[in-house]
Copies of this chain bind each other. A is one copy, B any other.
Amino acid sequence: MEIDKSLPKSERILLAAADVFSRKGYMQATLDEIIEIADTGKGTVYNYFKNKDNLFYTLVSKINEPFVTALLKIEANEESPFLKLELYLKEMLDFLRTNDTLWQVLFYEMMGANRGWYFIHDYATKENRLVVKWGAGPTQEEAERVSRYSELIGSSFRILENIMQEGVDTGVFKPSPENKGVHYAARHLYGGVAMAVFFGNDREESSATVAKIIADRFLFGFAKSAK
């Protein structure tokens, strides 16, 4: 990979990091390879980023930002929940197709290596609450790390929930059984889209087409006729 030498160091490092983290994952990515590609010194990386984790987080955080902005715009517009959902999915497909490998890593880092504890988003307080099932629980550092990553994913995920909830509230979408909220259905849709992209790297259909199909199937079902 070649990086434009005229860019400032910090950007060159981020570009190189994107490349390496995508190919190697978090653990196997090495700073040596990153500085080799960024054509910079090792110390320079540590002038801009506190450590490896901070470099990775800064990177995905930066990429995530315009994505969330676009989604918020979709959520805020005046269209029907049907169309909003489709627009959301198209946006998400475009985003994941561009950042597939990096987001695989992010998903994994968010979920992985967790012993007996996890975070649950408390919709009342809007905070992530630590639940320790057993064991000693995470160190503060581990907890913060996972929490940060959860928050990143959550920032786009909750917009999907909002759109779906709007549909339920306005009576066009089915409520969940026993009115449990849309969390589970949203999780399923969100995760399904992500995995479908991660799984298959084919890009034969445009994201608009695929979004339309997914939305259609999700809303009106895979069965030929209603029960």
Contacts and interface: CB of A to CB of B under 8 A. Distances in A.
B221 A221 contact: yes
A191 interface: yes
A8 interface: no
Given A25-B113, A112-B108, A222-B219, A195 B187 contact: yes
A184 interface: yes
Interface string A104-124: 110010011111001010000
Q: How many copies does the complex hold?
A: 4
Nearest to A182: B222
A108 to B, nearest CB: 4
A120 B200 CA distance: 8
Interface residues of A, number: 59
Given A118-B201, A221-B220, A226-B226, A113 B188 contact: no
Nearest to A216: B227
A190 interface: yes
B108 A213 contact: no
A198 B22 contact: no
Contacts of A164: 222
Contacts of A219: 221-223
Interface of A: 22-25, 27-28, 82, 101, 104-105, 108, 111-115, 118, 120, 131, 133, 164, 167, 171-174, 176-177, 183-185, 187-196, 198-202, 210, 213-214, 217-224, 226-227
